[in-house]
Amino acid sequence: MQFGIFTVGDVTPDPTNGRVPSERERIKAMVTIALKAEEVGLDVFATGEHHNPPFVPSSPTTMLGYIAARTSRLILSTATTLITTNDPVKIAEDYAMLQHLADGRVDLMLGRGNTGPVYPWFGQDIRNAIPLTFHNYDLLRRLWREDVVDWQGRFRTPLQSFTSTPRPLDGVPPFVWHGAIRSPEVAELAAYYGDGFFANHIFWPKEHTQRMVELYRTRFAHYGHGSPEQAIVGLGGQVFMRKNSQDAVREFRPYFDNAPVYGHGPSLEEFTARTPLTVGSPQQVIDRTLTFREYVGDYQRQLFLVDHAGLPLKTVLEQLDILGEEVVPVLRREFDALRPAHVPDAPTHASLKAARDAAAAGGSDPDARPAGGATAGVGNR
Amino acid sequence: MSRRRLAVVSAGLRVPSSTRLLADRIAEATSDELSRRGFEVDLGVVEVREHAHDVVNHLATGFPSESLQAALDLVAGADGLVAVTPIFNASYSGLFKSFFDVLGERTLVDRPVLIAATGGTVRHSLALEHALRPMFSYLRAAVVPTAVFAAPEDWGGGDAQGSLRRRIERAAGELAAEVARREPARPADPYALTATFEQLLSGEGTDQG
């Protein structure tokens, strides 16, 4: 099982002293946090993508490329890459480029983001969010899997004899997760292609996440990629820890009360009861996180949000120390002991390459899509 | 015997509340009329005030508390709805509006709804027609023609009392008739896929905007 962190990249005033980091400070802090993640033994660092203040990460592959050069083991990912407003051609190129630079330590999570105004900034219409998701992803897959693409669609100029460059590392496209909070259509998209499904989890009650993951697993099996419990699931989580739980609550409360998204709404106690947010001792975080599998099944990736709402860098690095030293080793052991042998790990570049090579030797296509589901242009890779 | 579920949403703020008083009388009259038509009636009441903080939190976070979820489910599962608000500043109260703002947008499509209101003067009565009726029309509810307004003089007895009772009975009769001629409500499953993969890919299966 993979453990990691995901960051929104918000520049938020520290509510305890009003201090606002500069953009440069925040960007450098994100890098420091990523390096720390590798140092303490986490597996994944994922950055958000935003195109408006108060957020800094508008250019994820620039940041991830820089982090790639300074790490050796960490998987670099996104949370999320905007499949709706980015040109799929640019996504195909940027992430293939990053694959080469990072020696394959790359996957990405596609999503729609939560910023309505972003659509017109990139010439799109929010009412097309779902068709854009399906359309653009269809093209993205072809650009990675076909050397020469002829393509015509609703949302972008046609392509004729186009080759996206560089080609994916070893001819193996990055693994794709589809992230969603509330759109069942996204679970369907992930299931159809046998891709991963990442439930944001942190902003909504667990009953909701349970239903979304259940839908994804059912459809994953429907499309013939394996049994429901073999589907590839990731979850978000949100934690703040101190040795004594009261200290954690006291220290985190002002950040919670003023946080973007849910601040000035429910109390910390109400939000903790209703969502995965856990503020307390490392043991409380371990116990709570272990309950996730009780309602989504055995899953492959757990990402924690630890660096938002104006928390100072020093505090975030302390959180990562606690995660790496006290929490994740226990979670790894416990989850691994509970997981049945037929439930796979999250795909990596190495495992996808090995599967591809094995299939080539055996004559079957590991990346096969369901029969009868192909649409114009999808089938010819 | 066939069963029907009747939900009452009452947005009064005081106890006792004339808004709740009016809601109860309408609910009773509607239940009686449905009973006469041979239905058993399950009645559920939402006092919006009890969910006041949760409604605001839902607006802030995007999801309901468990008790607010139960209230929203009660409305979503009802075959008929009685919606009663005090009139503030010539319109529904903000809390009444916010409750319906966090109810799923398609929840009330083709659902029979009786609108009613209370106010400090009878001169507020048309707020039902220029504020409540358009909102429920937007939600594509089947709003019955008679809206019931109760002013202070309606509670004072004499002719006015008789007039309020007649209006309640007429409106309740209309609501009962709309409930009676429909199949029992089946709330939509928010997790159900409504389009095939091919429709989603072609953009045909999505009903955006």
Lowest mean pLDDT among A312-326, B23-37, B185-199: B185-199
Is B208 within 8 Å of A203 when comparing Cβ atoms? no
For the packed helices B158-180 and B18-36, what is the interaxial angle rounded to 10 degrees? 50
Residue A373 lies in a domain: no
Is A128 within 8 Å of B203 when comparing Cβ atoms? yes
pLDDT value at B208 more than 60: no
* CATH number (domain holding residue A295): 3.20.20.30
Is B203 within 8 Å of A211 when comparing Cβ atoms? no
Residue B190: per-residue pLDDT: 84
DSSP type of residue A55: B
How many domains does chain A fold into?
1
The model's pLDDT over B121-130, given as tens digits with 9 standing for 90+, comes to 999 999 999 9
The model's pLDDT over A275-302, given as tens digits with 9 standing for 90+, comes to 999 999 999 999 999 999 999 999 999 9
CA A172/CA A356 separation, integer angstroms = 8
- Could you give the percent of chain A with pLDDT greater than 70? 95
pLDDT value at A88 more than 90: yes
pLDDT value at A36 more than 90: yes
Over residues B99-118, mean pLDDT: 96
- Separate counts of helices (H) and strands (E) for chain B: 8, 7
Residue A378 lies in a domain: no
Residue B170: per-residue pLDDT: 98
Cβ proximity of A149 and A142 under 8 Å: yes
DSSP E strands, chain A: 2-7, 44-47, 75-78, 81-82, 107-111, 149-151, 159-162, 175-180, 196-199, 233-241, 278-280, 301-305
Mean pLDDT of the residues in chain A: 94
pLDDT value at A379 more than 60: no
CA nearest to B191 within chain A: A184
A254 is in which domain, residue-wise? 2-362
Please, what's the largest Cα pairwise distance for chain B?
A: 66
Whether the CB of B201 is below 8 Å from some CB of chain A: the reply is yes
Over residues A134-149, mean pLDDT: 97
Lowest mean pLDDT among A11-20, A44-53, A105-114, A228-237: A105-114
Confidence of residue A374 (pLDDT cuts 50, 70, 90): very low
Q: Which CATH class is domain B2-202?
A: alpha beta
- Angle (CA) B48-A277-A309 rounded to 5° is 95
Residues from chain B contacting residue A215 (CB–CB below 8 Å): 191, 193
Residues from chain A contacting residue B63 (CB–CB below 8 Å): 203-205, 208, 274
| Domain regions of chain B by residue span | 2-202
pLDDT value at A199 more than 80: yes
